Amino acid sequence: MAEVKKVQQSKAKKIAISLLLTLMMLVTAQAAEITSVIPIGHTVGIQMSADGVLVVRLNDVQTADGAVCPARDAGVSEGDMIVKVNGAEVASNDEMQKQIALSAGQPVELEILRNGETQTVTATPRADTDGVYRIGVLARDSMAGIGTLTYVDPETGAYGSLGHGICDGETGVLMPLKEGSVLYSVVGSVQRGEVGEPGALQGEFQSDVPLGTVNENTESGIFGTLTDSSLYSSLESVPVAAADEIKVGEAEILANVEGDKVQSYSVQVVKIYPQDDEYGRGMMLRVTDQALLEKTGGIVQGMSGSPVLQNGKIIGAVTHVMVNDPTCGYAIGIERMLEEMTN
């Protein structure tokens, strides 16, 4: 639960109160083949670059004639993705600002992506008091944070992590992925969770030690391929539980809350949700392990993706903490993650 951290806190608050016939048959067959995976439970650093520039906020440009916001006047909204400026693709703030500067105050066409649809609007940049042409957009083109690896398919290296998507912390928009990587990390300290204030793992990751790629950012987690097997080469596979095998009662989670050590902690599955739950919840968990309660206060940000096991099978992954009770949280069902990975 990481910048990832802001993301999880935002979503936790919301929940504590989301071809061809031949190809379709092939996808179904692939999903059915994944009957066992290796649960991991180790934290990783996650770096992602967006496929475009996400508008986080619209700001006024202070000009000699007063405050104006050309982007707002053109119809740009917070949460839009700016993908082109005057026909040139932009993948970063720098690239967007360069195109705006080249306009020298002439109108620019902005191609934006909103709710899956492409639109084109025209904005006229204005010079600020320093003479820099701007359109009044505060944007984000990347993010990084700490999360937990849930599982890996040892046959292919395909993995699933987090159990929820990486969204912008201010707009709540799922970040369209251009490219990303997972990196080796260790947990240096823990901010304990308290009622009304979720805790967090304080981790460090090594940008020069990539473990694999991030290929998809979805509502059910991030997915990709591990190119380094060091986190799972000595671990064993476990069966994947079907949804009807998950029961209310004792279970365990694998979590990395200190250094690079992964440990098992006892939890209770206290409620099971329908598979079509609108918030993506598979089950509600309560932490019962005294060692984990003393260390973290319960579920904290950064534990998103911690695998949940019951009766020797993997049943899901931790996704959210309840803001008003950090000993409780939610988990996604493992079948839902695997279906997303193979689609």
Active site residue 320: no
CB 335 within 8 A of CB 232: no
- Give Rg (Cα) of the chain: 22
Residue listed under structure tokens 């200190």? 258
Helices (H) and strands (E) counted in the chain, each on its own, are 6, 22
- Distance of alpha carbon 58 from alpha carbon 92, whole angstroms: 17
State the catalytic residue, choosing from 80, 220, 289, 306: 289
Structure tokens at 280: 């993506």
Alpha helices in the chain (DSSP H): 4-16, 21-33, 70-74, 93-102, 290-296, 334-342
Task: Assess whether 128 carries a catalytic annotation.
Answer: no
Identify the CA nearest to 297 among candidates 285, 289, 306, 305: 289
Planar angle of CA 181, 184, 189, nearest 5 degrees: 120
Q: Quote the tokens at residue 155.
A: 């046959």
Considering the candidates 181, 185, 220, 304, report the single residue annotated as catalytic: 304
Residue of 142, 164, 168, 306 marked active site: 164
Kind of pairing between the strands at 261-272 and 283-287: antiparallel
- Tell which residue, 55, 60, 170, 49, has the closest CA to residue 112: 55
Query: Which of 39, 43, 33 has the alpha carbon at shortest distance from 1?
Result: 43
Q: Give whole-number Cα distances, 295 to 40, 45, 226, 323, in Å.
A: 20, 21, 30, 18
Angle subtended at Cα 322 by Cα 318 and Cα 326, rounded to the nearest 5 degrees: 90
Sequence-distant (6+) residues with CB within 8 A of 295 are 190, 192, 257, 258
Residue with tokens 């949280």: 329
- Residue 269: both structure tokens together: 């599955």
Residues carrying an active site annotation:
164, 289, 304
